[in-house]
Structure 1
């Protein structure tokens, strides 16, 4: 009887932790072209101890081998300085999630972990190198590996998260992290969360590029026209003009 209970417990542990890949071994996942997990990603984050706003968008992704992908994209600091960048991500490991990560509003089969290095190019006064570690959520859709899906903001679950630093051409190093939902590595007084799970930057940091985001979605003192104008800035495809390389607006 004890042996039966033991085997039942082991099976349950494997099911919850996802140690065993019965249908999608890790090697099979790596053999696929995972460019779609990273292509057209838009994220938001902080740069420096003053938590300046930085936006990141991946414009092109190309598989180099099973564990390396070339990334092209653009960064935008404080809504004014746009720099193009190019670099690589390297996959280090893959984990799986339990069935608890699947519902009508969420579907995540696991996370891919790795490290990255992206070099901005253009005016050396403004350009630098991003480096650090990332995680990217995925789901198995038929025979394809796609981006994970989460429509429940209150969970505060990042499906794309990059944590690291930015190094300028003259060696200055600043913390620089970004994500698709909740920005990692922020100080405790950076923001607060409302009942809907949305984060709102507190007044101390808004002057560092966050004012427009606050006006677009959380400032109740603005007129409809003012709110609409702010939202147009937030929703524009600012990365689309590739002729801009480390230029201010």
Structure 2
């Protein structure tokens, strides 16, 4: 019964979130400082056809005008190559959700949609440019707008999602997408879902930076110490105190 309720909630979320705000409400939202929807955000995703792991942390966001925000952040590929980046997000549209789905499961009032461009800087052997489209869930708290992230894995729902590509300094282009829950643009065999609704990367792709994540939360053959060591890597604030240039750990 619970699983059925989750599926109904997901269906209703996407059905009703297609309803646009009246123009005056949209204008009111755009006049606010929405930097809190973007900064201090950690997400995980894929880079390239081999689905290499990439971690993204947006450290700062600053309002430039009603639709454009300056972004600063750091990327980490395969837990080793770390590159700071800077760029912008531009808001294209805003949608609201019907009251019927504002529940303890979703806690979302609508979505901000737009496009982004982030340029990594430092060693050109590793740096490139991210670009694509995004969506970000939000919730109204009085006159304040708060960022929403999915904290219930069984919902299989992204409230923060970036879909696009990465282009190297030499012009090599790769698919690159990340999110707060389900990574978009992955092949059908990239992962499986366990009974808790959590995704587990399949053995074919684990060698591409996913082994530690598997060991931290899904490998039942490890000792307690080995699991703890893996979890420390996953839970550390890896973006803190990194130099302002690309580096390899």
TM-score past 0.5 threshold: yes
Unaligned runs of 5+ in 2: 1-15
Conserved 8 A contact 1:43-1:57: yes
1:10 is matched with none
Query: TM-score under structure 2 normalisation?
Result: 0.90
Matched, 1:64 2:60: no
1:5 is matched with none
1:178 is matched with 178
| Alignment deviations for residues 135-161 of structure 1 (CA, whole Å, 9 cap, x no partner) | 000011111000125432111110110
SS in 1 for 2:64: strand
1:229 is matched with 229
1:53 is matched with 53
1:196, distance to aligned residue in structure 2 (A): 1.2
Following the alignment from structure 1 to structure 2, what is the Cα–Cα distance between the partners of residues 146 and 171?
37
Conserved 8 A contact 2:83-2:245: yes
1:202 is matched with 202
Query: Taking structure 1 as reference, are residues 199 and 84 closer, same or farther at Cα in structure 2, changes over 3 Å only?
Result: same
Following the alignment from structure 1 to structure 2, what is the Cα–Cα distance between the partners of residues 115 and 23?
20
Unaligned runs of 5+ in 1: 1-15
1:188 is matched with 188
1:106, distance to aligned residue in structure 2 (A): 2.6
SS in 2 for 1:126: coil
2:77 is matched with 77
SS in 2 for 1:174: strand
2:33 is matched with 33
Following the alignment from structure 1 to structure 2, what is the Cα–Cα distance between the partners of residues 51 and 137?
25
Query: Taking structure 1 as reference, are residues 18 and 183 closer, same or farther at Cα in structure 2, changes over 3 Å only?
Result: closer
Following the alignment from structure 1 to structure 2, what is the Cα–Cα distance between the partners of residues 155 and 75?
27
1:98, distance to aligned residue in structure 2 (A): 1.5
1:157 is matched with 157
1:168 is matched with 168
Report which stretch shifted further, 79-88 or 96-105: 96-105
2:9 is matched with none
Query: Taking structure 1 as reference, are residues 244 and 80 closer, same or farther at Cα in structure 2, changes over 3 Å only?
Result: farther
Query: Taking structure 1 as reference, are residues 146 and 50 closer, same or farther at Cα in structure 2, changes over 3 Å only?
Result: same
SS in 2 for 1:57: strand
| Alignment deviations for residues 65-102 of structure 1 (CA, whole Å, 9 cap, x no partner) | 00000000000000000000000000000011122332
Report which stretch shifted further, 74-83 or 152-161: 152-161
1:89 is matched with 89
1:20, distance to aligned residue in structure 2 (A): 6.7
Conserved 8 A contact 1:18-1:98: no
| Alignment deviations for residues 155-190 of structure 1 (CA, whole Å, 9 cap, x no partner) | 111011000000000000000000010000000000
Following the alignment from structure 1 to structure 2, what is the Cα–Cα distance between the partners of residues 36 and 142?
15
Query: Taking structure 1 as reference, are residues 17 and 49 closer, same or farther at Cα in structure 2, changes over 3 Å only?
Result: closer
